[in-house]
Structure 1
């Protein structure tokens, strides 16, 4: 998990909460059928093509149930797999393998689905300077995992939350009275190293955001033609993010307008999990 920048304590909090939700006072099926000290081997297999993410997290799930299990991954996070590929093998107590299976798969499948979808968008922007960004449209409590998965798919993380970057949107502008006023207010209150991004919907707003000194200008729900005009006007005075109604069909065209980033909520808010199965080998 070194690449993610996330700490183990944070991950453990998430896993502990998930255990309480799923296991509660105990796995009453497994614990009353499987002898306590029985060992077994399990394998996880990809049932579809995709990019795998979340192996370390899946391991942490099982190790909380069996600290001595043997974990043998066949690939690493960010690797591409084909249907039928064995992803990993685990040897441990039979109880741990059964009790941890659903939680480990839920996390691994979701994260791998995000990585797989992200890789599709990254491929569409290939050959341009564009970086594919995620958004805050993540499952509450799982943002750490969702954003890590985006990175494993070749994407780039946008702001983590409301605290690490300024994002001035239409409602902020309404309250402040103008883009200029909104930028001035936040500049007075925040450290100089925090970036300020402004959402714009037309060229007049773009021009005002440039004059106000925005670090990043979001072009929201603009046509490709209007984005190209905005890019030409900004002319390197700020970084440029395209956003709104982005899908795979639009990425190649938007990338050619000269924007620096394309943000896509669908990477995390509409996840199709990568199909992965676990099988026990007695």
Structure 2
């Protein structure tokens, strides 16, 4: 009987330890990608300041992105410089249809007024983004002119083995990126550049490093149709320092500048 009591006591102690460890792991495990999303980015740089806010709809989809030319806490009282409106396909609703970046004031470009830009998305039969067309918006978004296209070629892991970015005439630049992924990030890149002014292509090859924090802009294809939206974590280069909070989130990025540093801070919300 005494041995049974001792056994039960040890089992009870072990159970308490197991529960404590389990709760501690749940508390300390940030898993930010499942619980947090960026709602504001504030950037100070030599060539200007910028506050960007991100809003989501009732389906937790990115819906509106607004750009302000100030970084003060009263930024919302300022006149925005531009606003992105994200439009989704009705079936399925997870597909992007197109996004508009509307300038508050049209800008003169090549003798014509430009009111912003539009991106149109085409998916393949497996539900992956296949082509993104970027267009210049003219006549208050009544007409459009193609500026470049993004074309994706996927590997067996459904990550892009290659991304082809093609410009339009007369330069007709064509950038072909070939990627090797490791742990969800494009860690090795081969780039081939061709254009109408050069008879020989230009080649680059380089490695890329990442932090361990969930990517601030992972799956932000509406804003970043390039490789940024595919990467699991945040890119680091030799001139950039990352700062993370106790949740494991990237909250500050400092890029060394010639005159002043380029500093971006991020604010998140739970959902």
Shorter-chain TM-score tier: under 0.3
Higher strand share: 2
**Structure 2 length normalisation: TM-score?**
0.26
Q: Which has the higher contact order (CA 8 A, sep 6+)?
A: 1
**Structure 1 length normalisation: TM-score?**
0.25
Higher helix share: 1
